[in-house]
Every structure is written in structure tokens, then in C-alpha cells.
């Protein structure tokens, strides 16, 4: 992941970490905070990246990494290797699996929150698409393809949840009437 980011731009370890865990890199593979700096040190020891210290006024100096020609070659070689299977993890799907153990209101609330989160992710990817389209001098065809793929996956997930949300809620426990309500009935 570090080489893929550095293939496109120079970056500090903090910037790489942010892209790997929160930014566009987070869509591709899982990279923890604790794995990025050791990976950068290893890549530098192997001559695949170089670093320089950049001094900042009023702030600590930062180390900026750049990919070397050997790093570009190693990255391309790695792309030729068989791919690991895609991994999809979803706390929401774990929640949905056990919705029958919960009250319907909490299931409804969590489903609505998931819809809102999917809407935000879809909006973020559309914003990225718009930014790529407005950029000059660069061909972002593959980036557009990847964004389109991601958007389609998210839109299908959103549509499924929206269409079948009531079935999920219905699978949950319905609230028991209060003792006073039962007596009145």
C-alpha cells in the first residue's frame, strides 16, 4: 500500500497512514497504524523508497518519502502476483444477523444509521469522481473505473437495505406491552 501511494506522490508517514486508514487507500486493503512505519523503514532499507527531512516553521520536522525506480519496478512486479481474495467485513451485517434478539426499535435505528452511512460514502465517492473529472492534464480512466465499481457496490448495498429494511425490523422482537397496557386490553 505504501508503494502504491508513493507511486503517485511523495508523502510523509503521517500522510501515508491517513490515506491507508481513512483515505482512498482504506478501500483497497487493511493497513493498521502500527504497520505503516515499519513497512516504510523496511522499504527504505531495501532501497525501494528514499526519505528526506523537511523542516517546518513552528512545527516538528517531518520525513518525506519518495519511491525509487527500484520501488516502481517492485510495485509493478507485485501487481503481477496472484491477488488475495477480497475481504468484506461489516459490523452492521453482524448486527443484522442477530437482529432477532433485539427490540425492533433498535434494529430500525441501526438500519437507518447504516442507510445514512451508505449515503455519506456514496456522496464521498461521487465527490471524488467530480474532482477527477475537473482535474487537468491527467488521465484518470482507471481511477474512474475503480470509483464506478465502488459506487455500484455501495449503491446495491444501499438499495438492498432500503428495500428489505422492514423485513429486518420485522425479524426483531416486538416490544412487550406494559403491564398497565395489558390490563386495559
Quickly list DSSP for 100-122: GGSBHHHHHHHHHHHHHHHHHHH
**pTM across the whole model:** 0.74
CA distance 63 to 93: 40
Q: State the pLDDT at residue 181.
A: 47
Instruction: Report pLDDT digits (tens) over 164-182.
Output: 999 999 999 887 655 554 5
> Alpha carbon of 113 to those of 98, 105, 117, 184: distances in Å?
17, 12, 6, 35
DSSP letter for each residue of 140-172 = -HHHHHHHHHHHHHHHHHHHHHHHHHHHHHHHS
CA distance 19 to 152: 22
Residue 135 pLDDT grade (very low, low, confident, very high; cuts 50, 70, 90): low
CA distance 43 to 31: 15
Say whether pLDDT at 119 is over 50.
Answer: yes
Q: What is the mean pLDDT of residues 47-72?
A: 94
For the chain, what percent of residues have pLDDT higher than 90? Answer: 59
Amino acid at each position: 500500500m505504501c508503494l502504491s501511494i508513493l507511486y503517485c506522490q511523495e508523502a510523509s508517514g503521517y500522510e501515508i497512514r491517513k490515506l491507508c486508514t481513512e483515505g482512498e487507500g482504506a478501500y483497497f486493503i487493511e493497513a493498521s497504524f502500527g504497520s505503516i512505519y515499519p513497512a516504510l523503514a523496511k522499504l527504505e532499507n531495501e532501497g525501494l523508497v528514499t526519505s528526506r527531512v523537511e523542516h517546518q516553521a513552528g512545527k516538528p520536522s517531518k520525513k518525506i518519502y519518495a519511491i525509487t525506480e527500484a520501488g516502481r519496478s517492485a510495485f509493478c512486479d507485485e501487481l503481477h502476483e496472484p491477488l488475495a481474495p477480497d475481504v468484506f467485513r461489516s459490523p452492521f451485517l453482524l448486527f443484522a444477523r442477530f437482529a432477532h434478539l433485539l427490540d425492533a426499535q433498535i434494529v430500525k435505528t441501526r438500519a437507518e444509521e447504516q442507510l445514512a452511512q451508505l449515503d455519506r460514502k456514496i456522496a464521498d465517492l461521487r465527490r471524488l469522481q467530480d474532482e477527477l473529472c475537473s482535474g487537468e492534464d491527467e488521465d484518470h480512466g482507471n481511477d474512474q473505473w475503480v470509483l464506478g465499481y465502488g459506487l455500484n457496490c455501495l449503491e446495491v448495498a444501499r438499495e438492498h437495505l432500503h428495500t428489505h429494511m422492514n423485513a429486518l425490523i420485522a425479524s426483531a422482537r416486538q416490544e412487550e406491552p406494559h403491564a398497565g397496557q395489558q390490563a386495559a386490553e
